[in-house]
Amino acid sequence: MMSRSNEGRGPLYRVYINRLRRSLDPDSVPKHVAMMIDGNRRWARQLGFDSPADGHRAGAAKMREFLEWCDEVGVQVVSLYLLSNDNVTKRDSREIADLIEIIAELADELSRYRDWKVQHVGSTAGLPDGLVAVLDAAQERTKHNPGMHVNLAVGYGGRREIVDAVRSIIVAYDQEGGSLEELAASLTPETIGEHLYTGGQPDPDLVIRTSGEQRLSDFLLWQSAHSEFYFVEALGPDLREVDFLRAIRDYASRNRRFGS
């Protein structure tokens, strides 16, 4: 069951949250927010838990709350970075097994909540069949939902996404009988964008990362070319609604130039 993000908070906190909400201009809310939740393992260590899985479960619960916050201020698309393809190959097998179970539970739950449309973005290579089946089912179950679009980046890598996009363009062009010279002449950024995992979606306006880290970690490399970034010191499970609303307020105050 989805938890409410501010249970246990004092009345002054609620007053401040409501004031922040009222201060937001609906027209200034980003259409697409990407979230890099980081610090789950550090959070577990600091609290003395025996397993990183405790941190990952707390992080997944926080992502449920985060999606509610986004929905309530009018964000249309949210992308959550849950598991990179580097994680799959480089992390301890026990931790990855726990993460896969947690992600499967999260994907299934989100596909049954509100009217959100859930989509898997990433490669299925290296992912266990059970997780792929859950992600496919979540996507199929929600494909006609009219609500907020939720991208679950699982088995995701930005460089791999670009390579996959170019490959799909080449295959399609070859099937149409075109030459390599014609393909090279016709290739544009827009063409590549259409073949990304997020093809047809707006690029992220705002990218948020927790735990104080300030790097992209191979997340939405192409799509975030003109995104705004906001870094939060809080570890992933400790993220508060006030942190999110401050990020939205900060985004609204920026002058986006898009390279001009």
Provide the residue ranges of all domains of the chain, joining segments of one domain with +.
28-157+203-253
* Burial grade of 178 (CB within 10 A; 0-12, 13-18, 19 or more): middle
Q: In 149-204, which ranges are E strands?
A: 149-156
143-183 per-position pLDDT tens digit: 999 999 999 999 999 999 999 999 999 998 888 888 888 89
State yes or no: pLDDT of 103 exceeds 80. Answer: yes
CA distance 129 to 171: 26
Cα–chain center distance at 38: 12
Determine which one of 40, 87, 151, 203 is catalytic: 87
The mean per-residue pLDDT over the stretch 233-252 comes to: 96
- Residue 38 catalytic? yes
pLDDT value of position 259: 67
Q: Is residue 3 predicted with pLDDT exceeding 50?
A: no
pLDDT digits (tens, 9 = 90+) for 59-78: 999 999 999 999 999 999 99
CB 154, CB 82: distance < 8 Å: yes
9 or 92: which leads in pLDDT: 92
Residue 260 has a pLDDT of 64
| pLDDT the model gives residue 180 | 84
According to CATH, what is the number of the domain 28-157+203-253? Answer: 3.40.1180.10
Mean pLDDT of 178-204: 93
